[in-house]
Chain A
Amino acid sequence: MSRVAFMLREALVNLRRNILVVTGAVLAVFISLGLAFSALAVNELVRINTIAWQQGVHLIVWLNDAGRDGVPADAHQNLLNEVMQWEEVANAYYVDKTAAYEEYLDLFGNNPEMIEALQNPSALPTSIRIELADIELYEQVEFRLQQYPQLINRISSAAQEIEQISAVSRVLNLLGIGLSIVLGVSAMILIANTIRLAIYARRDEVSIMKLVGASNWFIRVPFLLEGLIEGLVGAALAVFAVWVAGRNLAGAAEGIQLVNLQIPNAFFLRWGVVFLLFGAAAGVLGSLLGLSRYLREADGGRPAGVRRALEPV
């Protein structure tokens, strides 16, 4: 027990006494993990917005009035029933003339000229609004609808644009994930290297500890604890900084309706834990790598080839 307490005390005392080096290591963790976490957060924003754009009505089927030009009275309802059976369709609903007029008022309520121009509300066409199961299926659904030329006046679709946005966001997603991985790996190397340098500065200390009879683990544990603490503190700062930045961004963009800049707290919680573990692991790994050489050197290892050099002696 006294050894565990000693090693913990050692780690804390060393952190305090080597404050400059420790600050450097914490900053390295903070900056590199902050960048990686930011990339991941941006990626999350792209994902959220892509989903938002992909949801909603994808096709509007403008219909010819029933009971005129040979369109049977129940044709609208029959078409809606049929469309709803199609597996490409997630949802479909009918907008009659009354609903169309309400929608018109919603859209142009602030524009008296437009309201005045529409002298006869029944002139507005009825329509079927279709939400697709998969945005990429819009061409197939359009093709199937084209089988009803008598009933259908026109088909409006935002699907092509949405598909283009989806393609762009897929690329952005991949880039974001790739960037996060690259920054994550760089973070690991940078952290490990910074801690290795910190240990290099204290290599004499390690050799003295060995001389006094300290075992490798006795020397290692305080260094590992230091690395762990540095990694955790740096990662916690990075997560906190990105969370604060995310909050501010969402606050500043409240008026913008086109894009959603609100990253859910669940994301920060889930990935925050991952980044904390990553920072801790990088700190421990850096310490292990940094120490191994000096511990080996102090053990009186027999270099290979010396026996061969001795042969002529």
Chain B
Amino acid sequence: MIRLEDVTKVYEGGTVAVRDVSLDIPKGEFVFLVGPSGSGKSTLIRLMLREEAVTRGTIYVAGKDITSLPAWKVPFLRRSIGTVFQDFKLLPNKTVFENVAFALEVLGRPRSVIGPQVEQVLDLVGLADKAERYPRQLSGGEQQRVSIARAFVNRPPIMLCDEPTGNLDPATSVGIMKLLDRINRTGTTVVMATHDHAIVDAMQRRVVQLSNGVVIRDEMAGRYETVGEQ
């Protein structure tokens, strides 16, 4: 589903964020990207989303080379990827319903389709009764659930999550992880950057560990740290 071949990213000023990273993520997999701050987790997410361009290497998403994608085609790529961020990235002037509906509006879906689909996904994330609230009227956990609802509403094959529990307390984080796990079980590939030990250890999924922009561990059913490190 996602393949990275010798991907390197150098920011302006010469900072090397990611160096020669190669990864193969099959369809339906749940992958944790772990590592300390500045290890390159978020950069990898941004590269897969074409928010940043690679400096060298190639990234394939659903078989297509996205590194050579012309700018006008980037929106089409993003419509096949659901994104969840630590800071929720909700539109403050839109209600919960409108925020989620926006992802379908950009696809040009008719209102008759949008309404039921949004209601269904809000039901899934447990916010059906708060559809008319604005983001500022919700708790952090609720805002993140809106963000997940928006990411999942058009049933994308891939979900990219950058520290989705970073701003949440442990109990709320568990709820968010249950939701992502449920989405993953529908066949959606989930890639999640995190440094939340407890979550990674509890989920027992594939763990890709980064350090200074380099992959130092890629382990199936792994923990946050290797046994030796603990």
Residues of chain A whose beta carbon lies under 8 Å from any beta carbon of chain B = 2-3, 6, 13-14, 17-18, 204-205, 207-216, 218, 298-303, 305-307, 309-310, 313
- Which residues in B have their C-beta under 8 angstroms from that of A215? 72, 75, 106
- Which residues in B have their C-beta under 8 angstroms from that of A14? 93
The one of A2, A3, A300, A305 that contacts B12, using a Cβ cutoff of 8 Å? A305
Assess whether A205 is in contact with B93, with CB atoms less than 8 Å apart. Answer: yes
- Which residues in A have their C-beta under 8 angstroms from that of B12? 303, 305-306, 309
- A selection of 6 A-B contacts at a CB cut-off of 8 Å is A3-B105, A14-B93, A218-B75, A300-B53, A303-B12, A310-B55
- Which residues in B have their C-beta under 8 angstroms from that of A302? 53, 55
Assess whether B72 is in contact with A205, with CB atoms less than 8 Å apart. Answer: no
Assess whether B51 is in contact with A298, with CB atoms less than 8 Å apart. Answer: yes
Assess whether A214 is in contact with B75, with CB atoms less than 8 Å apart. Answer: yes
Assess whether B106 is in contact with A209, with CB atoms less than 8 Å apart. Answer: yes
Assess whether B106 is in contact with A205, with CB atoms less than 8 Å apart. Answer: no
Q: A2-B110, A303-B12, A313-B16 are in contact. Are A213 and B93 (CB under 8 A)?
A: no
Docked pose: A300 CA to B72 CA in angstroms: 11
Assess whether A306 is in contact with B10, with CB atoms less than 8 Å apart. Answer: yes
Q: A208-B90, A211-B89 are in contact. Are A313 and B49 (CB under 8 A)?
A: no
Select the residue from A218, A299, A307 with max chain B CB neighbours within 10 A: A299
Q: Count residues of B near A (Cβ-Cβ below 8 Å).
A: 41
Docked pose: A38 CA to B92 CA in angstroms: 41
Docked pose: A310 CA to B15 CA in angstroms: 9
Assess whether A313 is in contact with B78, with CB atoms less than 8 Å apart. Answer: no
Closest chain A CB from B72 CB (angstroms): 7
Docked pose: A307 CA to B93 CA in angstroms: 39
Q: Across the two chains, which residue of chain A brings its CB closest to B71?
A: A299
- Which residues in A have their C-beta under 8 angstroms from that of B76? 213
- Which residues in B have their C-beta under 8 angstroms from that of A301? 53, 71
Assess whether B102 is in contact with A209, with CB atoms less than 8 Å apart. Answer: yes
Closest chain B CB from A37 CB (angstroms): 34
Assess whether A216 is in contact with B103, with CB atoms less than 8 Å apart. Answer: no
Docked pose: A14 CA to B90 CA in angstroms: 15
Assess whether B10 is in contact with A313, with CB atoms less than 8 Å apart. Answer: yes
Closest chain A CB from B153 CB (angstroms): 10
Closest chain A CB from B89 CB (angstroms): 5
- Which residues in A have their C-beta under 8 angstroms from that of B205? none
B150, CB-defined interface residue at 8 Å? yes
- Which residues in A have their C-beta under 8 angstroms from that of B92? 205
Residues of chain B whose beta carbon lies under 8 Å from any beta carbon of chain A = 8, 10-14, 16, 19, 46, 49-53, 55-56, 71-72, 74-79, 81, 83, 89-93, 102-103, 105-111, 150
Assess whether B52 is in contact with A300, with CB atoms less than 8 Å apart. Answer: yes
Closest chain A CB from B147 CB (angstroms): 10
Docked pose: A216 CA to B70 CA in angstroms: 13
Q: A2-B111, A14-B93 are in contact. Are A211 and B83 (CB under 8 A)?
A: yes
Assess whether A309 is in contact with B109, with CB atoms less than 8 Å apart. Answer: no
- Which residues in A have their C-beta under 8 angstroms from that of B53? 300-302
Q: A205-B91, A306-B11 are in contact. Are A211 and B78 (CB under 8 A)?
A: yes
The one of A18, A207, A300, A307 that contacts B74, using a Cβ cutoff of 8 Å? A300
Q: A2-B108, A211-B78, A215-B75 are in contact. Are A313 and B89 (CB under 8 A)?
A: no
- Which residues in A have their C-beta under 8 angstroms from that of B108? 2-3
The one of B56, B103, B107 that contacts A310, using a Cβ cutoff of 8 Å? B56
Known: A3-B108, A208-B89. 7 other contacts (CB 8 A): A2-B109, A3-B105, A218-B75, A299-B50, A299-B71, A303-B12, A307-B55
The one of A209, A298, A313 that contacts B19, using a Cβ cutoff of 8 Å? A313
Assess whether B106 is in contact with A212, with CB atoms less than 8 Å apart. Answer: yes
Q: Across the two chains, which residue of chain A brings its CB closest to B114?
A: A2
Assess whether B91 is in contact with A208, with CB atoms less than 8 Å apart. Answer: yes
Q: A213-B106, A302-B53, A313-B10 are in contact. Are A17 and B75 (CB under 8 A)?
A: no
Assess whether B75 is in contact with A213, with CB atoms less than 8 Å apart. Answer: yes
Q: Across the two chains, which residue of chain A brings its CB closest to B10?
A: A310
Docked pose: A208 CA to B111 CA in angstroms: 21
Assess whether A211 is in contact with B102, with CB atoms less than 8 Å apart. Answer: no
Docked pose: A237 CA to B50 CA in angstroms: 45
Docked pose: A2 CA to B76 CA in angstroms: 19
Docked pose: A307 CA to B14 CA in angstroms: 10
Q: A17-B93, A306-B12, A313-B19 are in contact. Are A211 and B55 (CB under 8 A)?
A: no
Closest chain B CB from A90 CB (angstroms): 66
Select the residue from A213, A305, A310 with max chain B CB neighbours within 10 A: A213
Assess whether B55 is in contact with A306, with CB atoms less than 8 Å apart. Answer: yes
Docked pose: A300 CA to B55 CA in angstroms: 11
Q: Across the two chains, which residue of chain A brings its CB closest to B110?
A: A2
